[in-house]
A and B are shown apart, each in its own frame.
Chain A
């Protein structure tokens, strides 16, 4: 939502585009070039870039194709935020500029830079391949073309929104964990994996899920919600990530990875005490050896500062825990019933 200002009332004004430049074959380091052009209200950032390329400097490189928010090729950072240049209006970003009248345009983050505003999408494509982000049909080849593959509306609604993804990589650019480790699966790949795994026509569900729960996979997401917040198609990407986790717990149990063990601890503690028993969380997540190696030096400091969480017997249950436990169990019965009726 943008706030109406005087700036909005103007129909035309000079705007400076501060564009990230880097040609690794020529330049020793990146720099910015300023281009000031007259811009009319209603013009997008992409049209402005096209104007600059056509009339001022043909050496600027960027990707663009459909100009209508469909192909996903013009993802870039505009005033620091990853979005599509073709659906972003100059007037809308101008009100958020740190320096009045200046719009900063930079390449997406977390992907290797090729030139100026162009990043290399190959690592993302490689991950899509690694996590088998396509449908392999469960229908025998002999039946293909002879019968329909019906999908219920209920099933389709589970991945309807996920199919809106146009692979623009804005979420990839904003991801906190990918920024910390380029090996991480990345949100766009998790979204696509969720979409394939939720499809009843797909035969790769288990194989894909087994890959997703490994290191650098679904459990490494740190729930920062940056992917979802930046998505140019407003796809609830975190729901998809949580969906994969829910699926992993249901199909693989809660003992196979540190991520699932960590999640299980919350369920167990709430059922028992209504409170999280933090003192044993590291051991329950990663075992005794990991905890000794990783946390003992810190624990010493914490003990000195009286900052250690209380041992399990000293964690007081929430008031009224008896009735709470009964209610929690009652819901467990509901969930069991739900699972039975789903299987039917």
Chain B
């Protein structure tokens, strides 16, 4: 059993609870033991970094230091949390002064940021640690009847200097996972594009247009569903789907699954167990 510190993303604790629930169902089957980091705090959602760069370094230096104290890597299942925490790590690793300033404060809690724990996405752990061959062997219900549109989202790919796991122009990790689970991917130009989530409350029309384009391509390609490794992309593409498509004059719909749900389906769990019924688009 491989152990990891598991970062609790705000959105997965409130709107997309099905992500963590579905991971809990199958983690042991794939030899993974995710220890929830209840002391962890919000990463700042790609906003705190410019509101206050120093608080950003403190908050995320602490999030990583909590995992380091346990001697574990930190696993994240939200793209933006991933990018944000990894950005902070890069800043701390590159600046001894900032690291010292953060560590002087972290002492209060008996913590120290050393830079020894990696910050990794759930998708990367599945590919690199569990391995596609093991996943193939564990599949009980191959997704062979499904044509799947893989929507990676931005913050698992870009900036590549911070992320660096996949080629941001033509990523393949999610495609590989889908194939290992027995599914077929469709050629999908929007796979590395944006979902518009981060401006839904600030520039709504623009965000809806961005989401509609991604949905439209998957609908026209007759995909059975879209899958995404990010709960924020899911919220934009599922939660706002009706509004985005209506806005674009498109009368259709397409289900959007979380990565964790797709894995669960292939491992034989039901849509109800995985929380798929909680989605806005049925």
Chain A positions near chain B (C-beta within 8 angstroms) = 80-81, 96, 176-177, 179-181, 184, 219-226, 228-229, 236, 238, 242-243, 245-246, 249, 254, 258-259, 262-264, 266-267, 269-270, 274-276, 278-279, 281-282, 285-286, 294, 298, 301-302, 305-310, 315, 318-320, 323-324, 326-328, 330-332, 334-335, 338
Contacts and interface: CB of A to CB of B under 8 A. Distances in A.
Most chain A CB within 10 A, of B11, B199, B278, is at B199
A275 B41 contact: yes
B50 A222 contact: no
Nearest to A241: B50
A266 B109 CA distance: 23
Interface string B161-179: 0000000111000000000
A242 to B, nearest CB: 4
B196 A180 contact: yes
A319 B14 CA distance: 17
Contacts of A181: 203, 205-206, 209
A229 B39 contact: no
18 contacts: A96-B170, A176-B210, A181-B209, A184-B206, A219-B203, A222-B197, A222-B210, A224-B198, A226-B194, A229-B158, A269-B42, A270-B48, A275-B42, A307-B239, A307-B280, A309-B14, A318-B40, A327-B109
Contacts of B168: 229
B209 to A, nearest CB: 4
B210 A177 contact: yes
B169 A335 contact: no
Most chain B CB within 10 A, of A177, A242, A286, A307, is at A307
Contacts of A264: 51
Nearest to B169: A81
B38 A318 contact: yes
A308 B48 contact: no
B154 interface: yes
Interface residues of B, number: 63
B268 interface: no
Contacts, number: 191
Given A220-B203, A270-B59, 11 more contacts: A96-B169, A179-B213, A223-B154, A229-B160, A238-B159, A259-B202, A267-B55, A305-B277, A305-B280, A307-B16, A327-B108
B203 A308 contact: no
B93 interface: no
A80 B48 CA distance: 33
Interface in B73-122: 101, 105-106, 108-109
B142 interface: no
Contacts of B54: 331, 334-335, 338
Most chain B CB within 10 A, of A267, A285, A301, A326, is at A267
A61 to B, nearest CB: 26
A263 B50 contact: yes
A323 B108 contact: yes
Contacts of B47: 262-263, 266-267
Contact of B204 (A263, A294, A324): A294
B201 A286 contact: yes
Nearest to A264: B51
Contacts of A294: 204
B13 interface: yes
A95 B210 CA distance: 30
Nearest to B196: A222
B228 interface: no
